[in-house]
């Protein structure tokens, strides 16, 4: 895949990646629906757990607005399955171990942890409309009130 990344108000390139529930997720499956894709650093860490729970708690409201949710990290399917089951997430989690989606959405950033630098996922959320066009993006997300903000952005 090329080094092309998504742009606001442009169609998001097709993708096909493994997800929980033994699925392969394709962007084309969501035609006619809004899609929220949220990227998070790691399963079972405090911020990522809270964010997932917030999306879970708002899930029925999102569905009423014809919107599906997908979570993405570089964790394996096995880790995702455990994380999803533990917190009863009603949406699928994509295992982006090869960083295909991470690169497409340009969410791999140099991060500092305990004074050491490493490449990791910058918490980010993207709203794609029913035609597959990227309508909004949130980068460097702070978890508090984020899900509500995303929900309110859906027209």
Domain boundaries, the chain: 43-153
Q: Is 48 a catalytic residue?
A: yes
Predicted local distance difference test score (pLDDT) of residue 1? 39
CATH architecture, domain 43-153: 3-Layer(aba) Sandwich (3.40)
Low-confidence ranges of the chain (pLDDT < 70): 1-3
> Residue for token digits 């709203």?
127
Per-residue burial over 144-154, b if 16 or more Cβ lie within 10 Å, else e, is eebbeebbeeb
Q: Which of 12, 25, 27, 48 is the catalytic position?
A: 48
Q: Which two tokens stand for residue 50?
A: 């809270």
Phi, then psi, of 43 in degrees rounded to 5: -60, 145
Q: Which two tokens stand for residue 154?
A: 């859906």
Predicted local distance difference test score (pLDDT) of residue 3? 57
CB 124 within 8 A of CB 138: yes
d(CA 87, CA 155): 28
Element housing 57 (H / E): helix 46-64
- β-sheet bridge partners, residue 112: 117
């Amino acid at each position: 895949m090329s080094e092309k990344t998504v742009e606001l108000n442009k169609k998001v390139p097709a993708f096909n990646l493994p997800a929980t529930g033994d699925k392969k997720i394709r962007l084309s499956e969501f035609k006619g629906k809004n899609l929220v894709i949220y990227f998070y650093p790691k399963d079972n860490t405090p911020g990522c757990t809270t964010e997932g729970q917030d999306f879970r708690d708002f899930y029925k409201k999102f569905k009423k607005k014809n919107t599906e949710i997908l979570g993405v990290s570089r964790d394996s399917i096995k880790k995702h399955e455990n994380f999803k089951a533990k917190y009863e997430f009603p949406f699928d989690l994509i295992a982006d171990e090869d960083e295909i989606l991470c690169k497409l959405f340009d969410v791999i950033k140099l991060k500092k942890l305990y004074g050491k630098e490493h490449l990791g996922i910058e918490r980010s959320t993207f709203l794609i409309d029913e035609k597959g066009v990227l309508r909004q993006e949130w980068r460097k997300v702070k978890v508090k009130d984020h899900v509500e903000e995303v929900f309110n952005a859906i027209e």
